[in-house]
Amino acid sequence: MSMRKLLGLCVIVLWTGAQPAIATRQAVLSAAVLHTQQVACPGYVASNVSNTDDGFMAELALAGPPCALYGKDIKRLTLDVRFDTKNRLHVHIKDTDGHQFQIPKDVLVLDSGHGVRNTSSNLRFDHFHDDVSGFGFRVSRGDQVIFDTVGHPLIFEDQYIEVTSNLPVDANIYGMGESPDFFRRNPANTTKTLWNRGSPDLFQQNVYGSHSIYMELRDSQFHGTYLHNSHGMDIILTNSTIQYRVLGGTADFYFFSGPSALDVIDQYTELVGRPSRIPYWALGFHNCRYGYKSVYEVNDVIANYSKANIPLEVAWTDIDYMDGTRDFTFDPVNFPLAEMQKQLAYLHARGQKMVLITDPAILYDNSSYGVYARGHEQDVFIKNADGSEFIGQVWPGYTVFPDWFARNTSSWWSGELKRYFDQLPIDGMWIDMNEAASFCTGSCGTGKPAGSIPPYPWTLDPQPPHRVINPSDTFLVPPYAIHNYEVELSDLTIETTARHANGVSEYHVHNLYGHMESKATRDFLVNYRPNQRPFILSRSTFAGSGALVSHWTGDNSASWKDLHISIASSFDFGIFGIPMVGADICGFFGNTTEELCARWIEVGAFYPFSRVHSALAYSPQEIYRWESVAEAGRRALRVRYALLPYFYTNYQRSVENGWPVARPLIFEFPHVPAVVDNDRQLLVGDGILVSPVLVEGATSVAAFFPVGIWYDWYDYSVIKGTNDIVTLSAPLEHVNVHVRGGKIVPTQEPSMTTAESRKNDFGLVVAVDEHGAATGELYVDDGETFDTAARWVQFSYAKKSLSIGQRSGQFKISPLLSKLVLLGVTGVSQVVVNGSSVNVNFKVVNGSTVITGLNIDLNVNSVVALN
């Protein structure tokens, strides 16, 4: 939730107010460009190469006079090259004396790999010397150079590192963010700024998270590159190059050989951490609003979903439930604890869940707020450079911020959460504003009375001027100005000169704040509920956060463009290793329209994380409020709930291999040039294609179908894909869904909750390809615990015979397989299961056969002959 939430007007005010700031920043950037043109940096010279069992090391010395482009040149560097695995190469260029900040190993534990000889690697490393630019290196996969710095001088200064690699003309680049954008980055003019910022989802601007991983598609194959660095940075695509401009640290690169998109993501998540296991209920439909006036209004919303026959899995409440918007409290008038407890009991009795929001900012009030008093006593808050507590401003007033590096912070945070959960044992946590966001610049509460509540800055008229910029402090104003949307790096967040308990300034670790809060929160939940999978939704993320939390894409707008971009953002987070992702359905800011909301739920029903969420001061948009939207929601969510076994199976693939649930067509069809920039359709797994309407007023959609057979989910009609566009009818309440030929998709009869759906019989949608064959799989466990038994079941179909095989596991699947939908198959009049004829019902629809009345045990191997 953003500070811009209170009023629609505030967005306009802040954007308008930012214009002089942007002009100031751009002036700094213009000077920086001029500086680059006037100064020739000498680069480095490599010497003293020493081989190791799995790589080599070398010394790098500055090759000439320092260029002092944006800081002090570091004269002595160490090059450390290691072949971590067959498919991963680690290239680390660091200062030999070890003074530059690096991400602590306990903040993000990286997989080191077992190490292989260079002759066993799919990647090759070569270094060169150029008389003009000095040291350069190339990373190759076979005969293809995938990263090439030769001809571009390495610049390594205390507050600026520049590494440039050549790219093909019109390269296909994906990833780098978080930044709302089209999925394929513009190779001629893209700047991705990594500096976590609590803000509305401004198109192509830096927002909540920092992920430097990118993938490139070249000659129908993918490879990837990740820079392990927590500093602010720009990653720039222009002139057939990718250039990193980083505000400190080291040049710590990892390269992934692919060759498929899923291979790259597998290799990346092996390094930074596999996605966490989620509870099954997280795949249900969620509802939230910022602005519910009372617990009784939320009760009405819950009841209205039921009356409208729309499945509601989880009821969320924003900061409205808090007493004075203070963490771990309940408004005694509008959200009294006793009534919240009744609501939770009501939900649990019906198989539903509750999630509430928590912010990291703690009200600065030692006299009446025990959360602050206990934290102050244990010395857990971030400090100013002079040792006083850093005091910003967030919802409750002047606030302090937990220092996740301090010795006592995790135990204090766990203690406060335990008090909270002991009162109201909610089902999951929503951690917001954790970039960390503040409403002011600097320690604006210093010297102010504790417990005093200032007005929100955006309510002031006239707006207060920005503080005087202090370029003499290069941690406040670095010599190189990254393209952060604000004037200063410290604007609307923790001051970059603030100090952590380990002596490190916020400048170095700003981008890690949300990730570290995620870790502390997850640690609490795992200990508080042993062996129960936690569900945590975080706004701010970093590399590896997928091992801790899920994510929503923040404060979007009720616009058709944001609907479109939400699909691309979901694809981005698939690359980032956070597959459980979705956008606020119907938009957060602004008044949605009936048509937009209908079209959005038709997309949002297929996000991995599916939640409607809207802002205070705008019209409510629960999807039962318009009959057309309610009907669109019922239809689309019925498909989602039928596909829950398929979603869950794909999510287990995420857990094991990192693979995304929501995928672009290019991941499955890398040899088809027409889909390199297709972010208007989405695949769920590799077998379900969703082609939504993203244009106002449209009643048809131009959908691309790769070569193959595709079956309409609803009426089983066939499209023979020819790598071309097909125009599909799409009335307002209908979203086009197709099953890919060659795939077997497990289903269950949908109910109003995931718990009820899990009890229903299974079905299989067998979509045969042009050869009359199909394959698929099903993963099942208890959906709740870590140490659950599990079962993988494999399906294969050919020549009118379906084989059901047990791949692994001992979990007992209770529901039977009762239904087969044989897409593209006719002429079946008899079903024989393991040699015995069974009495079933047949129905032929559009060249396909529906068989019901089966009673097949999925825990044993079976052969189903369809004669």
Structural tokens at position 669: 């069809």
Report CA 720 to chain centroid distance, whole Å: 34
Report the C-alpha gap between 282 and 317 in whole angstroms.
16
Gap between the Cα atoms of 585 and 600, Å rounded: 6
> Catalytic pick from 427, 491, 555, 781?
555
Buried-exposed string 210-228: b where 16+ CB fall within 10 A, e elsewhere: bbbbbbbbbeebbbbbbbb
Query: How many other β-carbons are positioned within 10 Å of the β-carbon of residue 264?
Result: 30
Which residue reads 């038994």 in tokens? 789
CB 24 within 8 A of CB 487: yes
Question: Residue 780 carries which side chain, given as an amino acid letter?
Answer: V
Place of tokens 């077992």: 114
What tokens appear for 357 in the block? Answer: 């929001």
Q: Are strands 790-798 and 801-809 parallel, antiparallel or unpaired?
A: antiparallel
Q: Which residue is catalytic, options 435, 495, 506, 781?
A: 435
* 733 catalytically annotated: no
The Cα 342–Cα 340 span in angstroms is 5
Do the Cβ atoms of 864 and 802 come closer than 8 Å?
yes
Inter-residue contact 537 to 522 (CB < 8 Å): no
Written in H, E and C, the secondary structure of 87-136 is CEEEEEEEECCCCCCCCCCCCCCCCCCCCCCHHHCCCEEEEEEECCCEEE
Active site residue 555: yes
Whose tokens are 């701010």? That residue is 540
Residue position matching structure tokens 């593209």: 824
User: 435 an active-site residue?
Assistant: yes
How far apart, in whole angstroms, are the C-alpha atoms of residue 769 and residue 855? 26
Choosing from 252, 318, 432, 668, the catalytic residue is 432
Query: For residue 673, what are the contacts with CB-CB under 8 A and spacing of at least 6?
Result: none
Q: C-alpha 580: how far from its chain's center?
A: 7
Chain centre to alpha carbon of residue 230: 17
| The dihedral sign for the CA sequence 182, 183, 184, 187 | positive
CA–CA separation, 224 vs 244, rounded Å? Answer: 15
CA angle (428, 433, 434) in 5-degree steps: 85
Return the structure tokens found at 397.
């007033």
Return the SS3 of 360.
coil
3-state secondary structure of 629: helix
Q: Which two tokens stand for residue 343?
A: 């609501």
Nearest to 694 by CA among 706, 704, 702, 685: 702
262, amino acid identity:
L
Q: Answer yes or no: are the C-beta atoms of 779 and 648 closer than 8 Å.
A: yes
Contact assessment for residue 175 and residue 215, using Cβ atoms and an 8 Å cutoff: yes
Alpha carbon 525 to chain centroid, angstroms = 21
Which amino acid does the sequence have at 39? V
Tell me how far apart the alpha carbons of residues 857 and 836 are, in angstroms, rounded to a whole number.
Answer: 14
Neighbours of 459 (CB within 10 A): 12
Which residue, among 478, 482, 523, 389, has the nearest Cα to 107 in the 3D structure? 523
In which element (H, E) is residue 628 found? helix 627-642
Distance CA 47, CA 79 (A): 10
Is residue 616 within 8 Å of residue 5, measured between CB atoms?
yes
For residue 452, give the nearest of 401, 391, 494, 405 by alpha carbon: 391
**Tokens at 566, concatenated:** 């939400």
3-state secondary structure of 526: helix
Residues belonging to the active site: 432, 435, 555
